[in-house]
Amino acid sequence: MGLKREISKSNMLFLSIGSIVGSGWLFGSYYTAQIAGPAAILSWILGGFFITIIALPLAELGTMFPLAGGSVTFSIVSHGKMCGSIFSWITWLWSMVVAPIEVQAILQYASNYIPNVINTHSQTHSLTTTGFFLAAVLMIVLCAVNMVGVKLMANANRFIVLWKLAIPFLIALLLLTYRPHLSNLTAYGGFAPQGLIGVLNAISTGGVALSFFGFQTAIFLAGEAKNPQKSIPFSLFGSLLISTVLYVVLQLGFVLSVNPASLQNGWSKIIFDGAAGPFAGIFVSLGLVWAAKILYFDAILSPFGTAVGYVAASSRILYSMSLQDDAPRVLSKTNRFSIPWLAILVNFVLGMLFFLPFSGWQAMAAFISAAMVLSLVPGPVCLLVFRKKFPTHTRPFALPYASILCFAAFYLCSLLLHWTGWDTVKKLEIAVGIGIGIFLVSYFLNPQKNKEPLHVKSSLWLFLYLITAGVFSYLGEFGGGIGVLSMKVDFLLLFVSSVIIFIFAQKTMLEAEKYKELLDVSETQLNEKNDSSFYKTREAAS
């Protein structure tokens, strides 16, 4: 039994918003203010704009080929087995661990009223044994909700998202109007105490990028949308616009509400009671205990709603990987509700292991942001490739000025990855190396005689990209880099390398006959009434 198209356009919008507005609004304003000071407001504006540009190619691709697992399929078709499998690994990795991050957020806020849940040491927060047990309980509940059915999940999520939007806007209004400290905008190091480096670094490591990347839920669940040609662009751009406005207003409210006494040592060393739950701590200091109680409740609901969406999305990615033989075929099994239940269980087990090596929400955010950015790199490349190989295919959303905007998206991915810093990039490249090793071992141990070719030549652009990103990150000024390259030189070198790799990636695309793979996958994932355009295109390609 395959997946069913049951998610309406409005529910797709709510699922995307629900995936965006999670723990990011609870912690992002605090951590970005530590990094960039009041200029963190600019970080959210720029972050929302950058992510929208990056989302543009995915809007066209998602409406052309609305498949379960979304973008993980595109790079397999455009550049072959090895390239696609690496990006599948990266995408599944970050999407699988978002649910644990959201659970960590719930427990970190809950530590203000539940004892012995979080250990706090040197501004880091790790789970105790009790906290780990509660995390397991929450993860089981998330899995159970997703097991019942995506339609039920989507309908219930609509009400959760309405709450999730109402409370943050109410909190922002309260912070802006209740004894604001306007002097905070310019005192204690000025508006931008760390300059442009702080603003850009906050986008990648302060939680800004992580907070916006939930827009991809619309792509991952495209195979279950009733009318993907309309619902995908609507949910992508609608959710990004609404969330950008929300995050900017929240950041301004946070900056104005911090007691000046907490800033005597500068924004990088903000000190106040209850910092494990920043907004709640501020409300308690203002004497607004009732608002803190509402926030404690929302600190359960908002991350939970986001986690629900990502448990669904990550299981669909694993489902898609199994159809492409990048994961065991058994993971494509669905239950009577048409849910890939075994994929959900595997993600649960691995997600629980993710709690062990990371301490606190921010420690998780930078790594996942870097992995998210890297997983989006093939999007703009694939769009131009598909325009060459499928010139007559129906494009319900056709991106104007595609060459310019696709390169802009590709370059922005390179910048966002660079801004996470060397300390993060090296960890990500180690994780990618592990994924490549697992892929090669499983490939060569496969007993099948007629194996699919690896398409190594078509994957060379990706290896060049990874090497270049690592070298520039090590030599740069961000996050542990040795500082040989100034920020201006970084921008220039990344631009030049992006031009070269972007062109090289298109030159090394697969031959025409390989593109029928996408159509083969389509036939197994789409309902009969939605298959006609894919059959026609497959016949034309043949």
Q: Cβ of 483: how many Cβ atoms within 10 Å? A: 10
Residue 525 pLDDT level (bands cut at 50, 70, 90): very low
Residue 385: inside a domain, yes or no?
Answer: no
Q: What is the mean pLDDT of residues 481-503?
A: 92
Q: What is the pTM for the complete model shown?
A: 0.81
Residue 479: inside a domain, yes or no?
Answer: no
> Taking a C-beta distance cutoff of 8 angstroms, is the pair 196, 331 a contact?
no
pLDDT tens profile 156-180: 556 777 777 788 888 888 988 888 8
pLDDT tens profile 419-454: 888 988 998 899 899 888 878 877 777 666 456 778
529 pLDDT more than 50: no
pLDDT tens profile 133-154: 898 899 888 888 777 655 555 5
pLDDT tens profile 367-422: 888 898 998 999 999 999 988 888 888 787 788 899 999 999 999 999 999 988 89
Residues 6+ apart with CB under 8 A from 379: 54, 57, 58, 61, 71, 74, 409
3-state secondary structure of 223: helix
Q: Which amino acid is at 56?
A: L
pLDDT tens profile 376-387: 999 999 999 988
- The string of DSSP codes covering 167-187 is HHHHHHHHHHHSS--GGGGTT
67 pLDDT more than 90: no
Residue 133: inside a domain, yes or no?
Answer: yes
> Could you tell me what percent of the chain has a pLDDT over 70?
82
535 pLDDT more than 90: no
Higher pLDDT: 337 or 201? It is: 201
Residue 473: inside a domain, yes or no?
Answer: no
55, 274, 387, 536 from 296: Cα distances, Å = 32, 12, 49, 53
Average pLDDT over the chain, rounded to an integer: 80
In the chain, % helix, strand, coil (3-state, to 5) comes to: 75, 0, 25
Residue 31: inside a domain, yes or no?
Answer: yes
Strand duo 124-127 + 118-121: pairing: antiparallel
Residue 157: predicted pLDDT: 59
Q: Cβ of 183: how many Cβ atoms within 10 Å? A: 11
Quickly count helices (H) and strands (E) in the chain.
22, 2
520 pLDDT more than 80: no
SS (H, E, C) 237-306: HHHHHHHHHHHHHHHHHHHHHCCHHHHCCCHHHCCCCCCCCHHHHHHHHCCCHHHHHHHHHHHHHHHHHH
354 pLDDT more than 60: yes
- The string of DSSP codes covering 35-67 is HHGGGHHHHHHHHHHHHHHHHHHHHHHHHHS--
Residue 449: predicted pLDDT: 46
Alpha carbon 412 to its chain centroid, in Å, reads: 15
Residue 49: predicted pLDDT: 92
Residue 535: inside a domain, yes or no?
Answer: no
Domain count, the chain: 1
> Taking a C-beta distance cutoff of 8 angstroms, is the pair 206, 43 a contact?
yes
C-alpha to C-alpha distance for 324 and 319, rounded to whole angstroms: 9
> Taking a C-beta distance cutoff of 8 angstroms, is the pair 239, 246 a contact?
no
518 pLDDT more than 60: no
C-alpha to C-alpha distance for 491 and 485, rounded to whole angstroms: 10
126-140, 272-286, 458-472, 499-513, range with greatest mean pLDDT: 458-472
Look up the domain containing 155 and give its range: 9-370
Residue 278: inside a domain, yes or no?
Answer: yes
Q: Where are the alpha helices (DSSP H) in 65-149?
A: 71-79, 81-110, 129-148
Residue 496: predicted pLDDT: 96
> Taking a C-beta distance cutoff of 8 angstroms, is the pair 15, 309 a contact?
yes
Residue 381: predicted pLDDT: 94
Q: Residue 92: which CATH number?
A: 1.20.1740.10
Residue 73: inside a domain, yes or no?
Answer: yes
